[in-house]
Amino acid sequence: MAWLFLAIISAILGGLTRVLQKVLLTEKDSDPFAFTFIFQITVALFFLLYLLVTKSMSIPNLSGVIFNIILMTIFYGVGNLFTFKAFKLAEASEVAVIFASSSLWSVISALFILGEKITNLKIVGIILVILGLIVINYVKTSWKVNKGHLFALLAAVLFGVAFTNDLFIMKRFSSVASYSMFAFALPSLVPLIFNPKSIKHVPYFLKGKIFLKLAICSFFYAADAFAIYIAYKMGGPATAISPISATSLIFTVIISYIFLKERDRVWNKIFGTLLTFIGILLLI
């Protein structure tokens, strides 16, 4: 069950990353397109540094998965753009609730792409995890359906299927870090293609304390991705890894509660965490 330990480590690191991303994106001069580019490039550079130090760079024959690599680039790149659109057009809490469905799309796609099997007990576990994440995010609003909700749903589908697609491609790689480097470097270019003017905002993230926060955030996310991919390599099923990884939101809530003093809707968060914990137990 070493894969389970790595999946939980991934969730914790993902929680830390979310908090740091929130801090960086709330800065007055922060541009989300420029941040997406420089963040992903920095993560890719961490993987490149690891590969150079360990001398473990290994690129297999990719002729049979070129289409999947193109999908990976498009899904992650466009998914990020849809995320920005969603937050611009809809309430953040509503977008977060819809995003909770991303692990469901990962599970469904894993059944077809990876040929994984799933038991009724695990289905209940997945439902509880998703319900728990929804409860944690839920804030009472008017919920008038708009384009923002559609963008949020499309982003959730793209990210969910992209994760399963990652695992399919990675079967070709003996080196997880080698694949991870490309998985972050290629999608990073998409925001610049759609919004080339955002490149002028990149230097902002290379200044002093801002760059330090970016580097720490990128390092945690690189470790997060490395842990979750290794978990799959060690035999963990995608139908369990994806929902467990999605619980990074719980650690985000805990970290935000302690360090950012975000103490609203405490009972929602406690109840949602309990549902999610029960769901994880059913997935093990």
| pLDDT reported for residue 142 | 63
Q: Which residue has the higher pLDDT, 264 or 283?
A: 283
Structure-token pair, residue 102:
């991303």
| pLDDT reported for residue 37 | 92
The percent of residues above 70 in pLDDT, for the chain, comes to 97
Q: Identity (one letter) of the amino acid at 68? A: N
Collect contacts of 19-28 with beta carbons under 8 A, ≥24 apart.
19/252, 19/255, 19/256, 19/259, 19/260, 20/213, 20/216, 20/217, 20/220, 21/217, 22/256, 22/260, 23/213, 24/205, 24/210, 24/213, 24/214, 24/217, 27/210
What does the angle CA 93 – CA 94 – CA 100 come to, to the nearest 5 degrees?
90
| pLDDT reported for residue 268 | 84
158-189, pLDDT tens digit by residue? 999 999 999 999 989 989 999 999 999 999 99
- The position carrying tokens 């965490």 is 273
| pLDDT reported for residue 29 | 76
State whether residue 179 is helix, strand or coil: helix
Segments making up each domain of the chain, as ranges: 2-283
Q: Which of 25-34, 60-69, 113-122, 158-167 bottoms out in mean pLDDT, i.e. has the lowest?
A: 25-34
| pLDDT reported for residue 251 | 86
Per-residue pLDDT at 273 exceeds 90: no
Q: Is the dihedral of CA 114, 231, 191, 103 positive or negative?
A: positive
| pLDDT reported for residue 166 | 95
115-145, pLDDT tens digit by residue? 999 899 999 999 999 998 888 877 776 666 6
| pLDDT reported for residue 223 | 96
Can you tell me the mean pLDDT for 87-103? 79
Can you tell me the mean pLDDT for 44-60? 94
The alpha carbon of 133 is separated from its chain's Cα centroid by a whole number of angstroms, namely 14
The mean pLDDT value of the chain amounts to 88
Q: Which of 26-35, 134-143, 180-189, 211-220 bottoms out in mean pLDDT, i.e. has the lowest?
A: 134-143
Note the pTM of the prediction, 2 decimals: 0.87
Structure-token pair, residue 259:
């360090």
Provide the pLDDT confidence category of residue 220 given band limits of 50, 70 and 90: very high
